[in-house]
Structure formats: C-alpha cells, structure tokens
Amino acid sequence: MSLIHTVPLIFLAAHWLVPGWCLQPKINYREKEKQVLDQILGPASYDARIRPSGINGTDGPAIVRVNLFVRSIATISDIKMEYSVQLTFREQWTDERLKFNDFGGKIKYLTLTESNRVWMPDLFFSNEKEGHFHNIIMPNVYIRIFPHGAVLYSIRISLTLSCPMNLKLYPLDRQVCSLRMASYGWTTDDLVFLWKDGDPVQVVKNLHLPRFTLEKFLTDYCNSKTNTGEYSCLKVDLLFKREFSYYLIQIYIPCCMLVIVSWVSFWLDQSAVPARVSLGVTTLLTMATQTSGINASLPPVSYTKAIDVWTGVCLTFVFGALLEFALVNYASRSDMHRDNMQKQRRQCELEHGAQIESDLLEDGGTTFAMKPLVRRPGEPLARDKIRQCEIHMQQPQRPNCCKTWLSKFPTRSKRIDVISRITFPLVFALFNLTYWSTYLFREDSDGE
C-alpha cells in the first residue's frame, strides 16, 4: 500500500481511538464570571440604591447578620477614657436580585472589591472617636456573592472608641468598654441587624494587654428610638480587669516604704535636730511627688478613688511624723526650762537655808520660842495627823502598768517618742487591714 493511502487511514483510526472530551473546547470560567457579573450587576437588572427584600422575598425588613474578629487591642487610656481596637468586621445578608447560575458548582462565589457596586447596609459605630481603613498593599476589603444570592462583606478597620470609666475602685477596678453598631438611616421597618448564630464575636488567642486582662465579652442588642423612628443596634461589652501587680510594685510598696522610713525619726535622739528635720522633710516631699505623679496619669474626676485614700493616708502619716518631731522639740525645750527652774528653786532654798543658819549662829542660839506642848484640835499639827491617818486607812491602789512603764522615761519628750514608736505602726496596720478588706471585698461584689 502506498503512502498516499496510508495517511487517511491513520487519521481515521485516531478519530475513533481518541475520546470525545479531548476534542471539546476548554471552558474559561473566569470569563463566565465576568459575564455573570455583567448580567446581575447591569444597570437594567440591578440598582444599588434599592434595599433587598425581606425574608423569602417579602416586603419585610432586610436582615443583616454581623460578626466580628478582634485582632488586637492597642491601648486603653484612663485619661482620655478611650480604647483602640483593630478588628475584622463582617456582614451577611441575602439579595435575591444577585442569584446566578453556578455552572454545576464550578463557580462557588464571585468576589468584588468595590462596595459601591452592590447595596450596602448603612451601619456606623456610634461610640467611635476615630477610625481608618487599611490600604496596604491593597484595600483590605472584599465582597463575596454566592449563587443563591447571599452576600458577604468583610473589611479590616482600626477604631478608637470612647469608654466611660468609673474609677472609684482604681486600681482595684474592672471596666466595661462597649462597641456599638447601629443603622444610621434605615429604621427597623427596613433594616434589622442581628448577631450571627454560633460565635458572633471572636478574639485572637494571643491577646496581651500591658495593664489589663480581657476577662470576657458579652453580645447584646441596643435598639434606640428617636423622633424619626426606631433604629436597630448591636453592641458587644468587653470586660477588662486591671492588672494589680504593676500598681503594687510602683505605688503601694514605695508608699509603705516611705511611711516606714518616716518612723526612723522616732528612734533618733531628740537633740539630733538636723537629722530628724531632714528625714521628715525629705519623706514628705517624696510622698507629695509620688502623689502628684499618680494624679497626672488619671483624669480629674470629682469623686474619691481608692488610690486617693491610700496616698492621702500615707501622706498624713508622713506629715504626722514631722509634726511629732515639732512636738518633741517643744516638749524637750519645756523639760529643759522646767529643769532650770527646779535648779534655781533648789539653789534659792539652799541659799535661804544657809542664811537662816547664819542668822541663828549670830544670835548665839540662846533665844528659843516657847511653844505649848498640847495643841488644840483645830491647830495645824492636829490636821496633819488626821490627814496621815486617813491616808493609812485608804486601800492601796493597784499599780498602772502603762504609768509604771512610762515612769522609766523621765522626760516628756522621750515619752512622746516612745509612744509614737508603738502608736504609728499600730494605726498604720489597722488602716491597711481596713483598706484591703474594704476594697477587695467591694471588688469581688462588683465582679459578681
């Protein structure tokens, strides 16, 4: 057989042996996506200004389900009463106008990056102070349209939100910071926000805050009624507990040390005036500086905080130690004056006795005053005898331990120092017991 007759036979055999699907042209589903988008989003078939219909195509309100993913919480400011959060915000709703053919499951969903192509809920954050989108490298936003008409909108945003705080228990407090989302123009007759079923709020696992711990979060609804109607609202409450270890190391322990250092002056000699004055003034100024530094990091609220009670009492103890030295110094000078007066009195008595003896010696001792041997009951000697009998007839009093112990210290200034060595620590320990039991118990009751 010649070559001319062989070639047609080869092509004929190849036609029968090769499967039919190898010869069919390959379908470009990306091109189909473009055709579907042009079909469902064309100006003749879709208008982004009109909201979707209600459930099952009814004229009821459009249902939008919301869920959040908290990526990070940057700062929680006590002065400005605000906190910064970065989150992924998602909304899901159904728009039956966007249904399309998925070509046997080949097109799972369509993706858009322009939110103005479809109708969007007019949600806003009601307690927002500042906010911005993320555009590096591309805008962090997408819209997915599913074959049955479901729409998923997702965007990454950073917000600075207001957080009104109650600082009465600061720094033993818990704070609740809210994130509120509401419709701006659509009332509940047209638009209703609902939390997504299951797990509407998620928080990143390795969330670390410098001074707070996120204990829990709660989702709730906060619909509001105004003159123009009722508006749907969602909120999530974040419960933060302040980390106390930082304040224990930076505030409470240093203040305790300053108070204890101020007690050292009680053990110094009362004559060491420069040392005691320097110690008292230094601790007082240090405590005042510590107090002003604490107040500088807090807003000027009108009520008394727990830290104000602590610093105020510690400042009072330090100031009291300085006043105690002033009292000791005054008592010391008073003791010296009394000792000098006693010395002068004894000196005068000695001089007066010496003068009487010299006068007697000059008289020769021959003149004696004749006094009667028997005295009448009203005379001074009889009264002295009766008083002495009354004293002997009285029952002996029990010795007072405190007076006996204080009698070991002859001067009043020394007694004041000794009493202060015991009184100041005891009162400070009693204050600590009252302070911690009060505020820790109040913290537990508020937490419940």
**Average pLDDT for residues 288-295, to the nearest whole number?**
91
Question: Which pLDDT value is given to residue 206?
Answer: 86
Helix, strand or coil, per DSSP, at residue 78: coil
- Cα–Cα distance between 236 and 69 in angstroms, integer? 12
Residue 154 pLDDT more than 60?
yes
Q: How far is CA 339 from the centre of its chain?
A: 58
Q: Identify the three-state secondary structure at position 133.
A: strand
Q: Rounded distance, CA 54 to CA 35, Å?
A: 27
> ∠ at Cα 40 (68, 141), nearest 5°?
30
**Highest mean pLDDT range out of 98-107, 150-159, 263-272, 295-304?**
150-159
Any idea what DSSP says for residue 300?
-
pLDDT at 414: 80
Q: In sequence order, what E strands does 13-108 have?
A: 62-77, 82-94
Is 184's pLDDT higher than 60?
yes
Q: What residue ranges in 134-271 does DSSP mark as E strands?
A: 141-145, 150-162, 174-183, 191-195, 201-203, 212-221, 224-226, 229-231, 233-242
Q: What is the spatial distance between Cα 266 and Cα 417, in angstroms, rounded to a whole number? A: 5
Q: Tell whether the model's pLDDT for residue 278 goes beyond 80.
A: yes
Selection from 243, 232, 125, 146 nearest residue 189 by Cα: 232
| Residue entry with tokens 């009292």 | 327
Residues linked to residue 66 through DSSP beta bridges, in sequence order: 91, 195
Structural tokens at position 325: 């030295």
In percent, the amount of the chain with pLDDT more than 70 equals 76
- Beta strands 233-242 and 212-221 are antiparallel
What's the DSSP call for residue 442? H
Compute how many other C-beta atoms are within 10 angstroms of the C-beta atom of residue 14: 9
φ/ψ region of 52 (left if φ > 0, alpha if ψ in -120 to 50, else beta) reads beta
Rounded CA separation 55/233 (Å): 19
Convert the pLDDT of each residue in 88-114 to its tens digit. Answer: 999 999 999 899 888 888 888 998 888
pLDDT tier for residue 18 given thresholds of 50, 70 and 90: very low
* Dist. CA 141–CA 156, nearest whole Å: 7
Per-residue confidence band for 22, with pLDDT thresholds at 50, 70 and 90: very low
Report how far residue 251's alpha carbon sits from residue 307's, in angstroms, rounded to the nearest whole number: 9
Structure confidence at residue 397 (pLDDT): 56
Interatomic CA distance for residues 91 and 63, integer angstroms: 10
223: left (phi over 0), alpha (psi -120 to 50) or beta: beta
- Of 145-154, 250-259, 395-404, the least confident: 395-404
Single-letter amino acid, residue 417: D
Distance CA 261, CA 243 (A): 28
Full-model pTM: 0.73
